[in-house]
Amino acid sequence: MKKLDMKPNGTKGFLFTFCGLDGCGKTTMLTRLKSDLEKEHGVFLTKQPTNAVRTSDIFRTYMDCPDHDAYDYRSLSLLAASDRLQHGSRVIEPRLNKGDIVISDRYFYSCLANLRARGFENDDWIYEIARAVMKPDAAFFFDVPVETAVKRVRSRAAEKNRYIDMDLQYRLRTEYISICKANGGVLISTENSVEDCYNAVKKEVERVIKNETGKKD
């Protein structure tokens, strides 16, 4: 696993990213973090990929088809990567330049994990694109057994009948852990209590803000 050579955050703001399997518990964490931080800071919560990708024909065709092998995932990955670049430069960076804290539900790491989990480990183009992507001040990866994640997803009324490729989920979990370790991320097991998980997130965020604030002024 190669480390991503991402550009440093030279702005006044802070970027915190949350990645993991669907059902890993990241939404609970980032929602609570936003609520706590906005008591003292300007906070912007965002999501990747944007709706421009999520509502596109290629995205919907791929996601709604049980036979994922019928399509070349790289076409969707390229679309998602370009969307993340546009979103980063036009949405995230302006907020950071204002001095805001940006919390992103998923980030470029998810694009890499999905590409590698589908057998494209040797595609170097994604590492080249990463050079134009801002490195988070802290990248959180939430880990949970696949069975637990799927059970959580199935408990949502809108997704109880959603097709889920279990083998793919196992590979994705492995990739997320590898990416986290290779890129200095923070790995948190959401098998622990919600309080323990959130305290770990908050402690790291507070540490980063305290240590970096003077350097960003």
Collect the ranges in the chain with pLDDT lower than 50: none
Q: Which residues pair with 44 in a beta bridge?
A: 102
Strand partners, 15: 102
- pLDDT for 28 equals 93
Give pLDDT tens digits for 23-64: 999 999 999 999 999 999 999 999 998 888 887 877 777 766
Q: Which amino acid, 63?
A: M
Output DSSP code: residue 56: S
pLDDT of residue 165: 87
Q: What is the pLDDT of residue 46?
A: 97
Per-residue model confidence (pLDDT) at position 68: 65
3-state SS class at 105? strand
Alpha carbon distance 215, 109 (integer Å):
26
Q: What is the mean pLDDT of the chain?
A: 91
Q: Looking at residue 213, what is its pLDDT? A: 74
Single-letter amino acid, residue 185: G
State residue 38 phi and psi, 5-degree precision. -70, 0
pLDDT the model gives residue 64: 64
Distance between CA 204 and CA 190 in Å, rounded?
A: 16
pLDDT at 67: 67
Helix (H) or strand (E) holding 74: helix 73-87
User: What are the structural domains, with CATH classification, of the chain?
Assistant: 14-211 (3.40.50.300)
